[in-house]
Every structure is written in C-alpha cells, then in structure tokens.
Amino acid sequence: MDDDVDSRDFDTKDFGSEDLDELVVYGDASAISGDDKPIPFDDSGTGDTGVSHSPLNLGGAGSTAGVSEPETVVWPARPKKPTGIASSPERITGVKTFFAKLHPGAMDFLDEQITNWLRDNPGVVIKRTNTTTGDVQAKKTEPNIIITVWY
C-alpha cells in the first residue's frame, strides 16, 4: 500500500458542491473581491500615527556618541592536564553491585552477600556506597533493592 498522497488520488467530492476554482461568497459580501486594494504597510507615510519608524541608535559600530571602549577581559590561564596517571588512596578503582527482590528477608540476604564479598577481598577499601530501589527485569519485572559499593 502506497502512503504517498498524489493529486490524482485527491477526491473533490469531499468538499461539497462548490467548484474549488470559484470565489466563495458567504453572506452579503465576500472577504475577497476583485476591487479590494492591498493593505498598506505601516511605514507607507499615509498619515501621522505618532510612531517613529526611523532606525534605533543602540550605540553599535556606526555610533560612538556616549559609548566608551569595552574593557578587554583577560581570562586566567587554564591549568595543564596531568600527563601521568594520578594515583591516590582516595581514588575509586572499582565498583560492585548487589541486588535482591524486595521482601522481608532481603536485608539479611544482602548483609550476608556483602560481608562474604568483603571477607573474600580483604584488600578492598570502601570509598562510597549508594542504595536505591528500582525494577529489575528477569522472567518478570519486580522491584529490587540495589546497593552499589565503590572501592
């Protein structure tokens, strides 16, 4: 099936009995008639409206009256990026995520999992933790508690 609209597929029967090329007149007079004159622009000079149409002087490049030279802004130099690998004891080097379904035994289960992981990895120094809840998709989507350990 072709979704493109073609003028040959255009059905004029949907527009009523009027000929689409004729001028349609509603009521006593038409909104468009042959003797209408174009609407003049506001600045055509036909009468005094009290509004000036002269260009505004905003103190740009062509005008220097009352305008002082702008000050040159000197930005401080950016510090150079370190070229070597920065190492410090505070640097995060890894992450481990634990999660479990939200049910009464979940906290005990997570406590046991985190404790066993820390016991198996004695060199890990925890720098930060984050706890959140969210949906984890498996066979069915269920709410879970998610604990992230940054080390």
Q: List, in order, residues 6 or more apart from 96 with CB less than 8 Å away.
A: 117, 148, 149, 151
Least confident interval from 22-36, 45-59, 73-87, 101-115: 22-36
pLDDT (average), residues 48-55: 68
Closest by Cα among 105, 109, 97 to 136: 97
Calculate mean pLDDT across residues 54-71: 66
- What are the C-alpha distances in Å from 104 to residues 1, 30, 101, 108? 56, 78, 9, 8
Kindly provide the residue ranges of all beta strands, DSSP E only, lying in the chain, ordered along the sequence.
95-101, 128-137, 141-150
Tell me whether residue 99 is exposed, middle or buried, using C-beta atoms within 10 angstroms of its C-beta: 0 to 12, 13 to 18, 19 or more: middle
How far apart (Å, rounded) are the C-alpha atoms in residues 130 and 136? 17
Inter-residue contact 147 to 131 (CB < 8 Å) = yes
User: What pLDDT score does 106 carry?
Assistant: 87
Residue 135 has pLDDT above 80, yes or no: yes
Residue 118 has pLDDT above 90, yes or no: yes
High-pLDDT (> 90) share of the chain, %: 23
Digit-coded pLDDT (tens) for 9-30:
555 565 555 555 665 555 665 5
pTM value?
A: 0.42
In single-letter form, the type of residue at position 117 comes to: W
**DSSP-assigned states of every residue in 43-84:** GG-SS--S---SPP--S-TT--TT-PPPPPP-PPPPPPPPSS
Give me the mean pLDDT over the 43-47 stretch: 56
* Model confidence at 113: pLDDT above 80: yes
d(CA 104, CA 86): 43
Q: So what's the pLDDT on residue 2?
A: 52
